[in-house]
A and B are shown apart, each in its own frame.
Chain A
Amino acid sequence: MNESQHLSSQFDEELSRLRTHVLQMGGLVETQVSSAIEAYSTGEIASVKSIVDADHKVNELEKAIDDDCAHIIAKRQPTASDLRLILGISKIVTDLERAGDEAKKIAKGVRRIYENGHVPSQFGIGVRHLAEAAIVMVRQALDAFARLDTDLARSVIRADTEVDTEFKSIIRQLITHMMEDPRTITTSIDIITIARAVERIGDHAKNISEQVIFIVEGRDVRHTGKEGSK
């Protein structure tokens, strides 16, 4: 990645503002996800509203950043690393926005569970563990973007495999649980929805990391299986 300055200082400012906005958006999404998981563990469903509200802000930022990208492309005709940065950012914000949507799904699932007077069963602990891993992935993906650190981005991509495996194991456990005691089916389905959302958040963090690698190295590592993380 090229760190030297452009002849046009205004262009430098535009790019730096763009990156700041992405990190700001990332910060919001990260908070959304961790608050949703916090609510899942503690049953503090009062925070659900604020998570849902934050989503509007995230959506607005997504639109604003996309708009800035379009303006920079139109005005500056970016090339090479600048072009990759703009293209990468445009994809990163889509993933961030979707991760925010998943956080909203988690929050709503939590509200359903607790409002019905249930508490997540012992298998809920597995979800909590899964969620912690996904939150770390989101945080690291954003750090990797901020520092343009491809080593960190690659470790996020590798971590996604573990999250996927853990998710499958939670589903298996829940199925067994539902067969043993059909009264838990409603809650279990809500937990599955939440676990699924957490797993998707991990996927989005992975996608963001892939874009970081593209921005820095110009290599498209999407859909390359394990090779991408090497």
Chain B
Amino acid sequence: MVIAAVNTEKSQKTNIEMESKMQINDNLTLKAEARNLNFFYGENKALKNINMPIYDKKVTALIGPSGCGKSTYLRSFNRMHDLYPGNRYEGEIRFFPDNTNLLSSDVDPIEVRMRIGMVFQKPNPFPKSIFENVAFGLRVRGENNKRVLDDKVEHALKGAAIWDEVKDRLPELASNLSGGQQQRLCIARALATDPELLLFDEPTSALDPIATGAIEELVHELKKRVTILIVTHNMQQAARVSDYTAYMYLGEMIEFGKTDEIFIKPQDKRTEDYITGRMG
């Protein structure tokens, strides 16, 4: 892999280049890692032997054509598949620093979801007020101090670039918001509980370019304190927001590398065809 090569690649590099690469190398710690991960929807094998690191406080983007398994992979992280019978995992997803196997039957999916937040493709607010949607996770954790709740809700709503639009209507039902607003509310809801890893499943596909820009800016801010795994169909978005990119095709991980390298010089022809728009 690219990173591993950096240490040995001492000759012919200018100091600046070396320094910047070493820096990236030094700061990298694993937040999670898929090891020989297979996943089955009944008989259908949707993920085929995925091995992939997720680096701490970095944004990793999953790209690939529809049906390639990127959402399936993303959902494995918070055990979403447990909700349906017949689904089966093989292999493991290690979660650090405690080195837990997220897929182990000893691990409570509820515990997992406390540490790993998720934002879905379609907005799914609770049938509650705007305020209560965001405060929900905090209340579940036992936070009842009104001032703390007010602060955290405001902070999360600002973070999700929706505060200005909802600050005067916090008690209103969330379902009164437009689709785009509801999605941003869901992002605020996920942010409110300070998760360690945030899963985004095409979070901006329903947002206009301005709101999308705000979310991307937010992702950039968020990675200072949280690790992010994002599925996106918008390749420019992957290029803009992520540090690492993985290209998946037909349930396989075809290529994983630094985003800059994937988008300028991918190693695999299949990645190249996909990102340059040559694939049907």
- A contact set with B: CB distance below 8 Å: 2, 4-8, 11, 76-84, 218, 224, 227
Contact = CB atoms under 8 A, between A and B. Distances in A.
Given A79-B235, A227-B12, A218 B264 contact: yes
A88 to B, nearest CB: 12
A86 to B, nearest CB: 12
Contact of B276 (A78, A224, A227): A78
Contacts of B277: 6-8, 11, 76
B276 A79 contact: yes
The 9 closest A-B pairs by CB, nearest first: A218-B265, A79-B275, A79-B263, A82-B276, A4-B278, A6-B277, A80-B272, A7-B277, A80-B276
A6 B273 CA distance: 8
Nearest to A4: B278
Contacts of A82: 276
> Is chain B's interface secondary structure helix, strand, loop, or mixed overall?
helix
Nearest to B261: A218
A2 B273 contact: yes
A80 B280 contact: no
Interface in B231-280: 235-236, 239, 263-266, 269, 271-273, 275-280
B91 to A, nearest CB: 30
Contacts of B265: 80, 84, 218
A81 B265 CA distance: 7
A80 B264 contact: yes
Contacts of A5: 278
B266 A80 contact: yes
Contacts of B266: 80
A81 B263 contact: no
Best-buried of A8, A77, A80, A82 by chain B (most CB within 10 Å): A80
A81 B274 CA distance: 12
